[in-house]
């Protein structure tokens, strides 16, 4: 048991070491987005399990359809899926637009996404390993950007930096659809809200996802609604719609303002 524990710690140390190397040695202050925080999406098991796990409470087809309709994407247009995960949206979008740039920091998630695209015989998806802070969009600015359940992996300072980078990848007048876990409850009552979130998740989805909710709150970086709204503004996006589904989930539809960033 003890040897197992030491081995686990060793593996974690090596993993962090290689992640740090991968992120580049200089400057030493750069946030390492390749290193997972909270749920470990770099794990092959987590990636393989992802669709089944999320499929318990999400309808990926319906989500994709709604996002495409909201963005008004057509077959001449391009879209970046930032934090594409196992590729559900990217594969759906590829059938409706000219090109999809599917970007994720996790090799394991990208492997599943590539497999999905191959199975669907789609050849208009470009996969890139990278993220909000490291992906370089070398093509023309995209018509739209989508990012679902990803931004909370960055602390606030890096969220704004990442959003400003996204704004530069998006054409003026282009759209951003961003869905994330964002806190909009009264902060003085955080304990009861968070307890209720965990409890209702356990009832609706099951204990494994309730445990993920706890990890999310403890180790990931969800922020306040008013912080998010200020960030879009400062990143060069105007919010068109903010759909607060409850105290924790929000979908924003934004337009890239004309000003240069």
Smallest distance from ligand SAM to CB 52, Å: 12
Distance separating alpha carbons of residues 38 and 198, to the nearest angstrom: 16
| Candidates 3-11, 147-155, 221-229, 233-241; binding stretch for ligand SAM (CB under 6 A) | 147-155
Check residue 97 for interaction with ligand SAM (CB under 6 A). Answer: no
b/e per residue, 93-113, with b = 16+ CB within 10 A?
A: bbebbebbbbbbbbebbbbbb
Check residue 41 for interaction with ligand SAM (CB under 6 A). Answer: yes
Nearest to ligand SAM of 191, 214 (CB atom): 214
Token pair listed for 144: 């739209």
Q: What contacts 110, CB < 8 A, 6 or more positions away?
A: 84, 102, 104, 127, 129
Stretch 74-93 residues interacting with ligand SAM (CB under 6 A): 82-85, 88
Distance separating alpha carbons of residues 63 and 108, to the nearest angstrom: 23
Check residue 180 for interaction with ligand SAM (CB under 6 A). Answer: no
| Candidates 18-26, 99-107, 190-198, 230-238; binding stretch for ligand SAM (CB under 6 A) | 99-107
Distance from first CA to last CA of the chain, Å, rounded?
Answer: 54
* Of the residues 23, 70, 149, 227, which one makes contact with ligand SAM according to CB under 6 A: 149
Smallest distance from ligand SAM to CB 63, Å: 8
* Of the residues 73, 80, 109, 213, which one makes contact with ligand SAM according to CB under 6 A: 109
* Of the residues 78, 148, 201, 223, which one makes contact with ligand SAM according to CB under 6 A: 148
Instruction: Please give the angle made by the CA atoms of 42, 71 and 84, to the nearest 5 degrees.
Output: 10
Check residue 132 for interaction with ligand SAM (CB under 6 A). Answer: yes
Q: If you ran DSSP here, which 8-state letter would residue 104 be given?
A: E
Look at strands 249-256 and 170-181 and give their pairing: antiparallel
Smallest distance from ligand SAM to CB 58, Å: 7
Q: Which helix (DSSP H) or strand (DSSP E) does residue 46 occupy?
A: helix 44-55
Instruction: Summarize as ranges the residues that interact with ligand SAM (CB under 6 A).
Output: 33, 41, 54, 82-85, 88, 104-106, 109, 131-132, 148-150, 153-154
């Amino acid at each position: 048991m003890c040897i197992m524990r030491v081995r686990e710690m060793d593996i974690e140390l090596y993993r962090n070491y290689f992640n740090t190397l991968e992120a580049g040695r200089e400057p030493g202050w750069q946030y390492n987005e390749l290193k997972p925080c909270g749920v470990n999406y770099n794990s092959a098991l987590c990636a393989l399990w992802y669709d089944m796990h999320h499929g318990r409470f999400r309808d990926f087809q319906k989500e994709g359809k709604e996002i495409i309709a909201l963005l008004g994407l057509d077959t001449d247009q391009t879209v970046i899926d930032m934090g594409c995960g196992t590729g559900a949206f990217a594969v759906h979008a590829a059938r409706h637009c000219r090109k999809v740039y599917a970007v994720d920091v996790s090799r394991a998630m990208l492997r599943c996404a590539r497999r999905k695209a191959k199975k669907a015989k789609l050849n208009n998806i470009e996969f890139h390993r990278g993220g909000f802070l490291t992906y370089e969009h070398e093509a023309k600015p995209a018509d739209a950007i989508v990012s679902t359940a990803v931004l909370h992996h960055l602390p606030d300072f890096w969220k704004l930096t990442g959003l400003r980078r996204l704004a530069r990848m998006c054409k003026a007048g282009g759209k951003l659809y961003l869905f994330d876990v964002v806190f909009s409850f009264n902060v003085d009552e955080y304990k009861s809200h968070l307890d209720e979130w965990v409890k209702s998740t356990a009832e609706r989805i099951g204990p494994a996802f309730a445990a993920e909710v706890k990890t999310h709150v403890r180790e990931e970086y969800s922020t306040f609604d008013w912080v998010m709204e200020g960030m879009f503004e400062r990143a060069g996006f105007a919010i068109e719609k903010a759909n607060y589904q409850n105290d924790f989930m929000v979908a924003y539809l934004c337009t890239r303002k004309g000003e240069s960033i």
